[in-house]
Structure 1
Amino acid sequence: MNADLLNFLQIPLTTVIILLVGAIFLFIQNKLRMDTVALLVMLGFCLSGILSVDEVFAGFSDPNIILIALLFIVAEGLVRTGVAYQVSEWLMKAARNSETKVLVLLMLSVASLGAFMSSTGIVAIFIPVVLVICQQMNISPKRLMMPLSMAGLISGMMTLIATAPNLVVNAELMRTQAGRFSFFSFTPIGLIVLVLGVFYMLVARRWLATAEQDSQEAISRYSISDLIESYHLHDRIKRFAVLEGSDFIGKSVEELHLRSNYGLNILAIERWKRFRPIFMAASLGKEEVRIKDLLMIDISNPELDLAEFCREHHLEQAAIRNNNFNEQAKSVGMAEITPIPDGSAEGKSAVQLRFRSYYGLNIIGIKRNGELLQGNLVEEPLKVGDLLLVIGQWKLLQQLRDKTKSFFLLSYPSEIDKAVPAASQAWHAIFSIAVMVLLMVTGIVPNVIAALIACLMLGKFRCVDAKSAYASIHWSSLILIVGMMPFSIALQKTGGVDLVVDFMINTVGTMGKHWILISLFMLCAVVGLFISNTATAILVAPIAISMAQQLHLSPMPFAMTVAIASSAAFMTPISSPVNTMVLGPGGYKFADFMKIGVPFTILVMLVTIFCIPIFFPF
């Protein structure tokens, strides 16, 4: 029995392999959450004694884990300020509502930006953008989240600084005085892979979600338009433009006495400010009416002559339309609530409850026993079982759960995903992100410090608050990454990596040049299934350069193969943080990455093996 086999049969290495195979089996089976499997792996390493407690939990102090968590907060800042939605609207406009064009533009944008900054950061920024696009186009996130992660990984093949494995391989070349890569040495190969990836995902996206699944997801949530139709708001709510000479100008809403004199209730005021319309729907009592304001008024008096009313007060009437609400869905929304049995609201009207003053919301519809109530709704005593449609700012609707024990909020319409509670801080968010990108590109500070600076700036500018920041972090994704990191330490500690390397040198050392490149690529792909792509590059780069030197060949094509293969981590959700980040938002299973990633990895390998010798001769 030779020494290699004896090493293989050592109990620690055998235990590591058993844990590795067990984790993969549980991932594929998909009966346990992936973060739960990762925690079981950590427990296994602790109980087996292969790793110390410090080694098992080392991932929690890893700067890359902190970086990913901070980038989730950065993405939340883009959502809360509306920047993500502006980008999505630009992509939608440029693509003219075509899913194919959206996919192409998305992958090109992510790969281009990722060439000069962290691919993890780019993907974190684009995740909310993609979610908004999927909602607007009524398609499943599965169809665009995988192209997003793939473009993020391909961006690492574009420039020297695009990803850590490139720098690791280049550092090894310089250490051994075997040469060095220039900033754009990777670009020709990266561009070829990017074009291949775009065409591949145009076909492969159909394997992730069908049109029927897309429509089912779209139907599962109701919208503001549905509420408008259900409560017949077209018949009762009107908009009035305040014209020059109106006696409303300069008076507060309270001073107009519209409710007592005409049976009218101002629900909201739409006003142009800084070249964009703002929609005010809370605390309007002291708000003064200005010329050109658009007043959204609940007409609870059916006998009122609207034409005469407009002539008397110099107003211009305009019927309410669905898009009047949809245009303002980033800040103002609707929701259905119902009185809690034996609560303080039962038997009292909105006026008695001071509903508008206390909650900042307006009641614009009441359903009782399935029938819409007519008349002055704010004077109607409420009963258990009533459905109340309320309108107001999203943040006030969300606060309703914690602010009252009198009402129960039933559900939100789909437009809550567009809620932008910090729209006025959009330019501050862009400035914060620009600072982060600049610091990452120049390398003045480590990436994690750049992300921390951006998060602190977002907090200072009120783009995010503490509650939304902590809630934005995908803790399950972080636990998954941390739980799988001990495999890298364990494989090195028990001699597993050395065993594979020795076997490879003895097997392919005398084969043809292209077969050696294939073996290097496959080794990186297999090792990258279980450890990070950076660790893969660290382990394999010295072997590749040593093999080239022993064969008296240029080390450049060997080193480039390792760098490209390390970034080609398409096959599992744990191969790269980029994949892990889209796992939850995309609703993917472990098998989805295998189904899409394995064929594409093979294609990338073929491109790499035949193109690299052209740009980097042996």
Structure 2
Amino acid sequence: MNFELAIVLCLLAATIFMFATGRPRMDAVALTMMAILPLTGTITIADSLAGFSDPNIILIALLFVVGEALVRTGVAQKMGDGLIRYAGPGETRLLVLLMLLVAFIGAFMSSTGVVAIFIPIVLRIAGNTGIAAGRLMMPLSIAALISGMMTLVATAPNLVVNSQLVRDGHEGFSFFAFTPFGIPILVLAIGYMLLARRWLAPKSVAEPAARPRLSDWISDYSLAGREFRIALRKDSQWAGKRLDMLDLRATSGINIIAVERHRGMSRRLIRPVASTQLQANDVLFLDVLNGDREMEALCQHYGLNRLPISGNYFSDNAQDIGMVELMVPPSSRLIDKTVAESRFRSEYDLSIIGIKQGSTASQGPVHSQRLKLGDTLLAVGPWKAIRNIRHDRNLLVLTMPAELDEVIEKPTRAPFAIAILALIVALMVSGVVANVQAALIGCLLLGLFGCVDMNSAYRSIHWQSLILIVGMLPFSLALQNTGGVDLAANGLLSLIGEASPRIGLAAIFVTTAILGLFISNTATAVLMAPVALAVAAEMGASPYPFAMTVALAASAAFMTPVSSPVNTLVVGPGNYSFFDFVRMGVPLALIALFTSIAIVPAVFPF
């Protein structure tokens, strides 16, 4: 071992130690090593920064954007809601469908993103079925990790290994090269979880204070008896009239919250403004202070039909109609003005439907009440307006409802998102263009068709993950330049001896898995990919089975909560300990090991 290699190994050991302790954060460690490694003379500063120009880094960033589009258009959420609908109350069927669905979605987008999407869905399922969340969160993380074994773009370690193959002058893996291994491992993992889930005993845990839901505010402000839906008959006196002409708020104490307009089988909610012209067959959703008697008189006089409505109409239409609780601060210009005088609806695109002075909800007409310092207001309207009001100095946002996290921003764009995702996959599978170009074309189309905008695209990219990968790539080059890769390969070869190549695959898998106990699976893939290819070259074998083994072992990061961000995300919601992952993950990692060793040489001969 030469002096330069000793320095690189000391820096690598320090990096692994900092990764394991979590101090400082991993991307900061990676940036630090990018700055230090060129000082050792083993690589240049250009080598240290070369990862930023790696096409696979760009591809990973673009895939985050694709995942964001699936979230914003509701594609991912609709699949989750379908799971709730079809799984039924049984835990066995629910677990199987959950793992299948997560593995399928994760094959085409970031596994970390998939888990982030499904955590609230699983918590909602747990609350509705009475199943402890801890019995579902571990299957969720395991399925997300195995989804990385399904396609080339499913997880960063696959792209890292593929990039190493290309750098060494070999042809990269095809899009579905991983699928023959991912499917059997997924099937075995589902069977294993059905047997081992008894180890995930429910634990009592104090739930954090939850944000209020719309149904809570309906009760607090006594709104249930004030909600009405009416349809305009063809002979209605309101048909053809503009809302400012009717002035229903001043004359009858009526707030029109939304206008439902039906065209054939389609239905859309129209935001009511002064210039909105009502049409026959329109359905109005009203907030009426004077109750049933006033409503019956209005229907008879103006040619209206009263329609049935649930007591939770706001909650039932939470994708279209939102609420927010506001407070009047000392500097507000609204103080001593009535709701009508403040022109609240015209300025904020929201309607005040409830007022609290202290802890008591006012029962009188809202539009005529004078606002005072410290009054709490309940406003209803489009979610976009609710988000915008957070920046207004005249009002202080007290509480956003829990439904805000479940709102689909671009529901009408879902067909475009699905079609563009299919196009990206088709381009990658066909090989007509490079994978990164296919993803770039897809992201541009997602922007063109309104599935994602530039701001949300930039926000969706998990920069910490990208910096981690870029920061670890110089280690791979430094180890190659100083003979570290050859040293590791020779060490494995001496350990293997004259054994068969299958034993070599097993050694690569075990080494990768052990290293993954302490650092992320992406960093593990960066370090082990060149070692695996060097071992293959020394044994005179094909590089593909060895490279595939590294990728599969990196995705089999089941054994500790720090092996992958996927595991870290479910620790809190599942109330897991470190030992829970060891107890559940070690047997599953062994299953993945033996399955890989059995199947990989059959698909990629030595």
TM over 0.5: yes
CA contact (8 A) 2:43 2:478 kept: yes
Which residue type is aligned with residue 39 of structure 1?
L
How many residue pairs get aligned? The number is 589
The DSSP-based 3-state class of the residue aligned with 1:251 is: coil
Aligned equivalents of 1:441, 1:451: Cα separation in 2: 12
- SS at structure 1 position matched to 2:341: helix
Cα 1:95–1:609 change in 2 (3 A) is same
Q: 1:352 aligns to what SS in structure 2?
A: coil
Q: Which residue does 1:305 correspond to in 2?
A: 294
Q: Is the 8 A contact 2:352 2:378 kept in 1?
A: yes
Which residue number corresponds to residue 246 of structure 2? Answer: 256
Give the 5 Å matches for 1:539-578: 539-541=531-533, 543-544=535-536, 546-547=538-539, 549=540, 555=541, 560=545, 562-570=547-555
Q: State how far apart, in whole Å, the 1-side matches of 2:63 and 2:315 are.
A: 29
Alpha-carbon distance in structure 2 between the residues aligned to 1:326 and 1:446: 46
Identity of aligned residues (%): 35
Q: How does 1:378-397 map to 2 (within 5 A)?
A: 378-397=367-386
Match for residue 344 of structure 1? 333
1:477 corresponding residue in structure 2: 465
**Aligned match of 1:356:** 345
**Superposition deviation, residue 357 in structure 1:** 0.7
How do residues 595-610 of structure 1 correspond to structure 2 at under 5 angstroms? 595=582, 597-610=585-598
Q: CA deviation at 1:418?
A: 2.0
Is this contact kept in 1: 2:151–2:177, CA < 8 A? Answer: no
2-structure distance, mates of 1:174, 1:417: 46
- Any residues of structure 2 matched to 1:426-445 within 5 Å, and which? 426-445=414-433
* Alpha-carbon distance between aligned partners in 2 of 1:433 and 1:448, rounded to the nearest angstrom: 14
Q: Distance in 2 between matches of 1:166 and 1:342?
A: 59
Aligned-pair distance for 1:442?
Answer: 1.2
Larger displacement relative to structure 2 (497-506 or 163-172) = 163-172
Residue 69 of structure 2 corresponds to residue 77 of structure 1:
yes
Give CA deviations for 1:498-534 in whole Å, capped at 9, x if unaligned: 1111122233222467644432433444577574647
CA apart distance, 1:454 = 1.6
Distance 1:63 1:127, change over 3 A: farther
Read off the aligned partner of 2:223 and give its amino acid letter: L
User: Is 2:452 aligned against 1:460?
Assistant: no
- Picking from 147, 150, 170, the partner of 1:152 is 147
Equivalents in 1 of 2:173, 2:469: separation in Å? Answer: 30
Any idea what the Cα deviations from partners look like across 1:367-411, whole Å, max 9, x if unmatched? 111011122212211112111111111111101122x21001122
Write the letter of the residue equivalent to 1:226: D
| Residue in structure 1 matched with residue 313 of structure 2 by the alignment | 324
* Structure-1 separation of matches of 2:580 and 2:465: 15
Is it true that 1:290 corresponds to 2:279 in the alignment? yes
Q: What TM-score do you get using the length of structure 1 for normalisation? A: 0.82
User: Which residue identity lines up with residue 155 of structure 1 in the other structure?
Assistant: M
CA contact (8 A) 1:88 1:133 kept: yes
Partner of 1:68: 60
Separation of aligned partners in 1, 2:474 and 2:577: 20
Counterpart of 2:207 in structure 1: which amino acid? Q
> Structure 2: which amino acid aligns with 1:569?
A
CA contact (8 A) 1:156 1:567 kept: no
**SS of the residue 2:418 aligns to:** helix
Q: 1:142–1:587: 8 Å Cα contact kept in structure 2?
A: no
Does 2:6 match 1:21? no
Counterpart position of 2:400: 412
CA distance in structure 1 between the aligned counterparts of 2:199 and 2:509, rounded to whole angstroms: 26
2:207 aligned with 1:216, yes or no? yes
> Is 2:230 aligned against 1:230?
no
- Seen in structure 2, the aligned counterparts of structure 1 residues 86 and 312 have a Cα distance that, compared at 3 Å, is same
The 1:536–1:514 alpha-carbon spacing in structure 2 relative to 1, beyond 3 Å, is: closer
The answer to whether the 8 A contact 2:228-2:286 is kept is yes
Q: 1:359: how far off?
A: 0.9
Q: Relative to structure 2, which stretch is displaced further, 202-211 or 299-308?
A: 202-211
Q: In 2, Cα distance between the equivalents of 1:483 and 1:184?
A: 28
Matched-pair contact (CA < 8 Å) for 2:151–2:176: no
Contact 2:559 2:581 in 1 (8 A): no
Partner SS state of residue 249, structure 1:
coil
Deviations 1:392-446 (A, max 9, x none): 11111101122x2100112211111122232222222222222222211212222
Amino acid at match of 1:353: S
Per the alignment, in what secondary structure is the counterpart of residue 229 of structure 1?
A: helix
Q: Distance in 2 between matches of 1:170 and 1:42?
A: 23
Residues 487, 531 of structure 1: 8 Å contact kept:
no
Does the 8 A contact of 2:115 with 2:141 survive in 1?
no
In the aligned structure 1, how far is the partner of 2:32 from the partner of 2:94? 40
Residues 558, 585 of structure 2: 8 Å contact kept: no
CA deviation after TM superposition for structure 1 residue 542, in Å:
5.0
1:345-370, CA deviations, whole angstroms, 9 ceiling, x for partnerless residues? 11212222211011111111111110
The answer to whether structure 1 residue 270 and structure 2 residue 255 are counterparts is no
- Aligned-pair Cα RMSD in Å: 4.1
Which stretch has the larger CA shift, 123-132 or 60-69? 123-132
Q: Specify every segment of 5 or more residues in structure 1 that has no aligned partner in the other structure, as ranges.
A: 1-6, 550-554
Distance 2:199 2:43 in 1: 40
What displacement does 1:470 show? 1.9
Whether contact under 8 Å (1:331, 1:421) holds in the other structure is no
Between the aligned partners of 2:332 and 2:369, the Cα distance in structure 1 is 16
Match of 2:49 among 57, 62, 65: 57
Q: Deviations over 1:91-133 (max 9, x none)?
A: 322223656545433443455577xxxx463647745652452
Q: 1:169 to 1:61 in 2, by over 3 A?
A: closer
Aligned to 1:447: 435
C-alpha separation between the residues in 2 aligned to 1:11 and 1:593?
41
AA partner of residue 300 (structure 2): R
